[in-house]
Structure 1
Amino acid sequence: MTLAWDVAIIGAGTAGMAAYRAARAHTDRVLLIESDRYGTTCARVGCMPSKLLIAAADAAQAVREAHRFGVLAEPPRIDGRAVMARVRSERDRFVGFVQDTVHGWPESTRLLGRARFLDANTLEVDGQRVEARAVVVATGSRPRIPPGWRERLGDRLLINDDVFDWTDLPASIAVVGAGVIGLELAIALHRLGVRVRLFARSARVGPLTDPALQTLAQRLFADELPMTLNAAAPEPVLDGGQVLMGGERFDALLCTAGRQPNLDGLGLEALALPRDPDGHALIDRHTGQWGGGPLFVAGDAT
């Protein structure tokens, strides 16, 4: 069976949903394809649940700093189970809002299954052929894991997706990567009483490029958070059920060392599309068009 559409969108995350809305403003012949479950990365494992964790950390920090305002309070006692129960509950509520939105769209314009390109205008989705005048690849991204770490550390190696399913806070954790995700999770966990050390190969923290701001940011983070910057990250090893890294022992290692686009497994190799040396799609930065044909890339997949 062949389904013919004006626009087919692979991925029902934030970018895919935005593409669906934009395309539907011009044509009803829009198909949204999702291989897993509805609910965006932002709502499920990204910016929304991370802000819930940060809110708990900020509340604890406010108690610690209350004396500056003449308010005397006992040091905060952190109930890790209660913190994570609230994070999970609110996260699930946010995901529910996204799912309600998608389920409110016509069922005939939604297809669950894994898409693979047969040619630039034709997809196969779990045995069904889908033909489209244009295809938007909005498959998102995933954490970049250094080679061998998964095999070496097993379930002691975590990514940000794992954090928001915790039922309790760990006693200690090593965080690798000083980008936005690593910084916000490291400082939040530290303020919630977790022993944290942040490791980063770069001398910089976050995306700040202004030298004065970068210097200030490093000082502010270093005043509160133990960090090892500007050094090749020591190879972690599993020893006695704990992660040994940089001479310290941790319950787990949280890897936040960058992300890579989810472009594999789509059959794109046969289309000879331009990519940079790291495998990222070389797209028109104004239109998102990839290779001058009917393909477009949106969101984190870029």
Structure 2
Amino acid sequence: MPDDAIGRRRWDLLVVGAGTAGLIGAQTAAALGARVLLVERARFGGDCLWTGCVPSKALLAAAHAAADARAAARYGVHADGVTVDVPAVLAHVRRAITTIEPVDSPDAVRRSGARVTSGSVRFTGPASAEIDGRPVRFRQALVATGSAPALPELAGLADAGPLTTDSFWDQPDLPERMAVLGGGTSGCELAQAVARLGVRVTVVEAADRLLAGEDPDASAAVTDALVRDGVQVRTGASVTRVDAGRLVLDDGATVDFDRLLVATGRAPRTAGLGLDVAGVDVDERGAVVVDAALRTTNAHIWAAGDVTGHPQLTHLAGVHGSLAAGNAVLGLRRTVDLSAVPRVTYTQPEVASVGEPTSAAGPDRTVLTRRLRSADRAIAEQNPDGFSRLVVDGRHRVRGATVVGPRAGEALAELTLAVTKGLTTSDLTSSIHPYPTYADPQWNAAIGDARGRLARPAARVVIGALLVARRASAALRRAG
């Protein structure tokens, strides 16, 4: 279909943005038989492919490999003279992106049956828009424009030429010294990665600990790991201004740097979309206001992904993009559930969490903890630092979990299912688990809870009666 025909058709679903939510939303709607137009003003694949998940995990893989090589002597393997070829590492990162890129490409979307075009979308009414000035009509629309790094208002910051989690990847090389402003997931991951690749790193975080939204013990484990990697960690510290190559903190201390990375959060991309003309409300942060079905204040327009203000996670954006698209084209009212959204910080050790917080359990909750040092796999591989922690309710259903250690993200999958489906610790114990794995502590925590129930007085009475009956039966058989 030629571009001039786009405006002549009334589309069942106009999708704005080809990041994860938009791509999956468009493909879902096309699979349902809808006439779909997907519009992207920049690169297909969004932040996850180009500046987020893919490059950061590729960089972390190289960084962890360097650290593992240096530490191999603990196994009796001596890798002397470990060196890091930074241009080769960055080439590895780019290869990861280009290998995955076809999956998110315009051709992949076309194969699903959706139409794609490039340009900037601006809504001109409740059911109309324009693409670079060309009019387009729609029955329903899905806004999936994602988010962009948010820079704090800080004296001297602009003059310092700060890097963000987006622009970090434009560097042809790594600096000798880097300051990282922000100790959340992105700040910790990139700080550890570049430190292991030879950069002198200082992390400055205003909160009293890194990963402030995670279990304090998980935060402490990551902090200890960063310090062992040579990272200087400054928590409870606010930056008052940025001088030439230097952060000035509120206590008068300074942090010198060659490059400054700002990782203090992201803001929804809603500017210039004409949402007010379309009758779509945004909140004080600029996020699109949606109901539980992801419908905006305009009944014809839906939104999914980072632009909504929901947790900024690629996997959540994909699920919500599909849900919103199905609701839009079929008139369904399926609703989102944010009670069991998994999240992972891919440092070493990894931190993976889901559901209710494990550090603030209520009076009707029980917290079960097993340390990784008790796991035979961890002993065999000399990776004892970490734990599994479950929150269970009065009916012994798993309501939340934190896992810290190698492959914690993979270990969390079972616990995410448990939280989602309301499984009990008995459900976990009744499933045979492979041995030995790093998931052993969470299984053992469930086993401990189940055995604890067997030790209760009522259970002991029943068990005792069964034993007595069993012995009596055996005695009768012998007497006969």
TM-score, structure 1 normalization: 0.89
Contact kept, 8 Å, 1:123 with 1:130, in 2: the verdict is yes
**Separation in structure 2 between the aligned mates of residue 283 and residue 136 of structure 1, nearest angstrom:** 11
1:31 to 2:50 alignment: no
Match in the other structure for 2:132: 126
Secondary structure class of the residue paired with 2:83: coil
1:175 to 2:177 alignment: no
**Of 20, 23, 40, which aligns to 1:17?**
23
Secondary structure class of the residue paired with 1:77: coil
* Per-residue deviation, 1:75: 4.2
1:113 to 2:119 alignment: yes
- The unaligned stretches of length 5 or more in structure 2 are 1-6, 249-253, 309-480
Contact kept, 8 Å, 1:283 with 1:297, in 2: the verdict is yes
RMSD: 2.1
1:280 to 2:287 alignment: yes
Secondary structure class of the residue paired with 1:76: coil
Secondary structure class of the residue paired with 2:239: coil
Secondary structure class of the residue paired with 1:175: strand
* Per-residue deviation, 1:172: 1.4
* Per-residue deviation, 1:11: 0.5
Contact kept, 8 Å, 2:279 with 2:298, in 1: the verdict is no
* Per-residue deviation, 1:14: 0.9
Secondary structure class of the residue paired with 2:14: strand
User: Quick one: structure 1 residues 165 and 91, their matched pair in 2 at CA, closer, same or farther if it must change by over 3 Å?
Assistant: farther
**Separation in structure 2 between the aligned mates of residue 64 and residue 234 of structure 1, nearest angstrom:** 38
* Per-residue deviation, 1:2: 4.0
Match in the other structure for 2:265: 258
**Of 187, 193, 198, which aligns to 2:198?**
193
**Of 205, 210, 216, which aligns to 1:205?**
210
**Of 240, 243, 248, which aligns to 2:255?**
248
User: Quick one: structure 1 residues 195 and 189, their matched pair in 2 at CA, closer, same or farther if it must change by over 3 Å?
Assistant: same
- The unaligned stretches of length 5 or more in structure 1 are none
Contact kept, 8 Å, 1:176 with 1:198, in 2: the verdict is yes
* Per-residue deviation, 1:254: 0.8
* Per-residue deviation, 1:257: 0.7
1:139 to 2:145 alignment: yes
More RCO (CA 8 Å, sep 6+): 1
**Separation in structure 2 between the aligned mates of residue 91 and residue 298 of structure 1, nearest angstrom:** 24
My pick for the range that moved more, 53-62 or 65-74, is 65-74
Contact kept, 8 Å, 1:3 with 1:129, in 2: the verdict is no
Superposed CA deviations along residues 108-167 of structure 1, whole A, max 9, x for unmatched, are 7112111101112111112221111111000010000123656322xx311122232332
User: Quick one: structure 1 residues 164 and 299, their matched pair in 2 at CA, closer, same or farther if it must change by over 3 Å?
Assistant: same
Secondary structure class of the residue paired with 1:277: coil
Match in the other structure for 1:53: 59
Contact kept, 8 Å, 2:149 with 2:166, in 1: the verdict is no
Secondary structure class of the residue paired with 2:270: coil
Contact kept, 8 Å, 1:140 with 1:262, in 2: the verdict is yes
**Of 82, 91, 96, which aligns to 2:88?**
82
Superposed CA deviations along residues 197-228 of structure 1, whole A, max 9, x for unmatched, are 11111123226433333344434434432111
**Of 262, 267, 271, which aligns to 2:274?**
267
**Separation in structure 2 between the aligned mates of residue 17 and residue 207 of structure 1, nearest angstrom:** 32
**Separation in structure 2 between the aligned mates of residue 262 and residue 131 of structure 1, nearest angstrom:** 22
User: Quick one: structure 1 residues 245 and 167, their matched pair in 2 at CA, closer, same or farther if it must change by over 3 Å?
Assistant: same
**Separation in structure 2 between the aligned mates of residue 213 and residue 85 of structure 1, nearest angstrom:** 32
Contact kept, 8 Å, 1:84 with 1:169, in 2: the verdict is no
AA aligned to 2:125 is D
Contact kept, 8 Å, 1:87 with 1:164, in 2: the verdict is no
Contact kept, 8 Å, 2:126 with 2:279, in 1: the verdict is no
* Per-residue deviation, 1:252: 0.8
Contact kept, 8 Å, 1:136 with 1:298, in 2: the verdict is yes
1:184 to 2:186 alignment: no
* Per-residue deviation, 1:168: 1.9
AA aligned to 2:247 is M
AA aligned to 2:172 is T
